[in-house]
């Protein structure tokens, strides 16, 4: 593909009314990334020379989301919506002077692979006027039918509402994804008409125009899952299921142990090395990386975290963004960690909150320890040195430093620095009152 000049246009102007949401359809997420984001990530891997996204005037947030991913993308507004051909025509200015292959993608079709797009563009580079992705669903329904000649070349794409009974019997249908030779696109778009059942300008009519000119139109058939479109909540759930099944299979093929694969959920960018073990009911949000030899125990929730080799997390642990767990460190049950670094071989075994903190190597954090990081206005940081020992139920009021090798007595509230190697005890002195319990029981007996 290095020799093929490639540009892309993503169609994202639909209203998405079937989603029944205040959020634009293409901004709904699969594995922690919007559908638009998935398609733009594919485009980003293609080194496309020109990139455009067509949005509707009802959803400027879609354009903002596109620019947040790629500041070089051309955002084009289609208003009113008049079909796919009109949408691509609105983006023509973005491709002025471009000579190569223009690929049309859809923001609600998130799983088209970069390798598939390259194969489609290669058909055009090899001489086809345009090339279309087709698939054979169980029920062709409302999909446009792909009419081919005896050689297998495409001669027309017939929308279901305009198809004859014979054409509706065709099982191979149009995904909408299309690669088009740029000079043909420029002369073909003005030839589109809205003389059809919907009164719209269909991009698919370019196939018949190309055939009339004597051009060859190619079809590449792919599996239905790759080109599934998402228009409603049930389809969004199906897309999530497809993503997770694919990602789980990839992880296990790469050497990751999933004890109960169907209960593990990955984000789009989860990075896990070989020889990591993941127990049942683990959820990964975006931004997680896990090094070889780590073990994630059951019922843990992890996002925005880096976990080093040999570390153990959970069960029932929560790692929030900015958590960095060092080599062979331990995070136990009901521990929450946020924006904090846990040094190599350090341990936070149970029932603790470690937020905005740095915990040194081999330090031990007892049960119920809290780093009190927020004063109501600002967050403050706690520094715990190497080999320090923090007793159970201690509260460390940030900003504060606990020195290397220092000890903090259980139940202490620490508000100032503890020097290296020192013992800090900050709690009320115990007072015993002899006979008090017996007197209390006597008062109860007296009624």
- Distance (Å, rounded) from C-alpha 182 to C-alpha 102? 6
Quote the CA–CA distance of 40 and 95 in Å, as a whole number.
Answer: 18
8 Å CB contact between 30 and 38: yes
Cross-strand pairs, 219:
132
As a whole number, the mean pLDDT across the chain is 95
Nearest to 242 by CA among 255, 228, 254, 231: 228
Inform me whether the pLDDT recorded for 182 exceeds 90: yes
pLDDT exceeds cutoff 50 at 163: yes
Instruction: Collapse the DSSP code of 423 into the 3-class scheme (helix H, G, I; strand E, B; otherwise coil) and give the result.
Output: strand
Above 60 in pLDDT, residue 1? no
Domains and CATH numbers, the chain: 6-227 (3.90.550.10), 233-424 (2.160.10.10)
pLDDT of 398 > 90? The answer is yes
Distance CA 313, CA 325 (A): 9
> Which residue do the tokens 């008049």 mark?
82
* Residue 120 pLDDT: 96
Total number of residues shown for the chain: 447
pLDDT in tens, 226-276: 999 999 999 999 999 999 999 999 999 999 999 999 999 999 999 999 999
Residue 297 in this model has a pLDDT that exceeds 50: yes
Q: Check whether 445 has a pLDDT greater than 70.
A: no
Q: Which two tokens stand for residue 269?
A: 């960018």
The pLDDT tens digits of the residues spanning 11-48 come to: 999 888 999 999 999 999 999 999 999 999 999 999 99
Interior/surface letters 418-431, b for 16+ CB within 10 angstroms, e for the rest? beeeeebebeeeee
Alpha-carbon span 293 to 277, nearest angstrom? 7
* Euclidean distance between CA atoms 349 and 332, whole angstroms: 4
**β partners of residue 319:** 302, 337
Residue of 131, 105, 152 whose CA lies nearest to 4: 131
Long-range contacts of 274-282 (CB under 8 A, 24+ apart): 279/314, 279/315, 282/314
Chain centroid, CA 337 distance in Å: 22
Please state, in angstroms and rounded to a whole number, the distance separating the CA atoms of residues 139 and 31: 27
The reported pLDDT for the residue numbered 301 is 98
Residue 350 annotated to the active site:
yes
Which tens digit of pLDDT belongs to each residue from 129-155? 999 999 999 998 889 999 998 888 899
DSSP string over 337-381? EEEEEE-TT-EEEES-EEEEEEE-TT-EE-TT-EEE-B-SS-B--
CB atoms within 10 A of CB 237: 12
Q: Tell me which of 268, 301, 350, 380 is the catalytic residue.
A: 350
Using alpha carbons, select from 309, 318, 314 the residue that is nearest to residue 337. Answer: 318
Residue closest to 327 by CA, chosen among 311, 313, 304: 311
Cβ–Cβ < 8 Å for 110, 239: yes
Q: Which residues contact 207 (CB under 8 A, 6 or more apart)?
A: 130, 132, 154, 155, 156, 157, 217
Tell me which DSSP letter residue 336 carries: E
Whether 394 contacts 366, CB under 8 Å = yes
Share of the chain above pLDDT 70, in %: 98
Q: In this structure, what token pair is assigned to residue 370? A: 């809290």
Q: What's the pLDDT band for 2 if we cut at 50, 70, 90?
A: very low
Per the CB < 8 A criterion, the answer to whether 200 and 83 are in contact is yes
Q: What angle do CA 198, 201, 203 make, to 5 degrees?
A: 115
Token pair belonging to 417 = 């620095």
Rounded CA separation 12/27 (Å): 10
pLDDT reading at 447 higher than 60: no
Contact 346, 362 (CB under 8 A): yes
Helix (H, G, I), strand (E, B) or coil at 209: helix
Among the residue ranges 104-113, 210-219, 286-295, the one predicted with the least confidence is 210-219
Rounded CA separation 32/284 (Å): 9
Question: Per DSSP, which regions of 360-443 are E strands?
Answer: 364-365, 370-372, 382-384, 389-390, 395-397, 400-402, 407-408, 413-414, 423-424
């Amino acid at each position: 593909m290095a020799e093929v000049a490639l540009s892309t246009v993503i169609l994202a102007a639909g209203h998405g009314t079937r989603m029944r949401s205040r959020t634009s359809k293409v901004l709904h997420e699969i594995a922690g990334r919007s559908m638009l984001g998935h398609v733009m990530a594919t485009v980003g891997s293609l080194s496309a020379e020109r990139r455009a996204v067509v949005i509707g005037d009802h959803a400027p947030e879609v354009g903002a989301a596109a620019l947040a991913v790629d500041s070089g993308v051309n955002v084009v507004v289609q208003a009113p919506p008049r079909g796919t051909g009109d949408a691509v025509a609105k983006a023509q200015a973005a491709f002025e002077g471009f000579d190569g292959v223009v690929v049309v993608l859809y923001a609600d079709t998130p799983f088209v692979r970069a390798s598939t797009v390259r194969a489609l563009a290669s058909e055009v580079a090899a001489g086809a006027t345009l090339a279309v992705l087709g698939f054979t669903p169980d029920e062709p329904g409302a999909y446009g039918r792909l009419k081919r000649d005896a050689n297998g070349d495409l001669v027309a794409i017939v929308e279901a509402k305009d198809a004859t009974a014979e054409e509706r019997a065709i099982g191979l249908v149009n995904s909408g994804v299309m690669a088009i030779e740029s000079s043909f696109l420029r002369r073909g778009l003005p030839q589109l008409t809205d003389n059809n059942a919907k009164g719209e300008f269909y991009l698919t009519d370019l196939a018949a125009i190309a055939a009339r000119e004597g051009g060859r139109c190619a079809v590449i058939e792919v599996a239905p899952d790759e080109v599934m479109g998402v228009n409603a909540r049930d389809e969004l759930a199906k897309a999530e299921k497809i993503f997770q099944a694919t990602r789980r299979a990839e992880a296990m093929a790469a050497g990751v142990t999933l004890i109960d694969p169907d209960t593990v959920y990955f984000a789009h960018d989860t990075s896990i090395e070989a020889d990591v073990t993941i127990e049942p009911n683990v959820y990964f949000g975006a931004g997680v990386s896990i090094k070889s030899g780590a073990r994630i125990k059951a019922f843990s929730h992890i996002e925005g975290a880096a976990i080093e080799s040999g570390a153990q997390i959970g069960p029932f642990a929560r790692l929030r963004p900015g958590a960095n767990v060092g080599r062979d460190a331990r995070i136990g049950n009901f521990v929450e960690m946020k924006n904090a670094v846990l040094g190599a071989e350090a341990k936070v075994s149970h029932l603790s909150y470690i937020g905005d903190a740095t915990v040194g190597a081999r330090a031990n954090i007892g049960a119920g320890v809290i780093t009190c990081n927020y004063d109501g206005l600002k967050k403050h940081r706690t520094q715990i040195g190497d080999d320090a020992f923090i007793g159970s139920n201690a509260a460390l009021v940030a900003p504060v430093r606990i020195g290397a090798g220092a000890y903090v007595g259980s139940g202490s509230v620490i508000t100032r620095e503890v020097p290296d190697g020192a013992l800090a005890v900050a709690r009320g002195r115990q007072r015993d009152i002899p006979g008090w319990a017996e007197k209390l029981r006597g008062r109860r007996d007296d009624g």
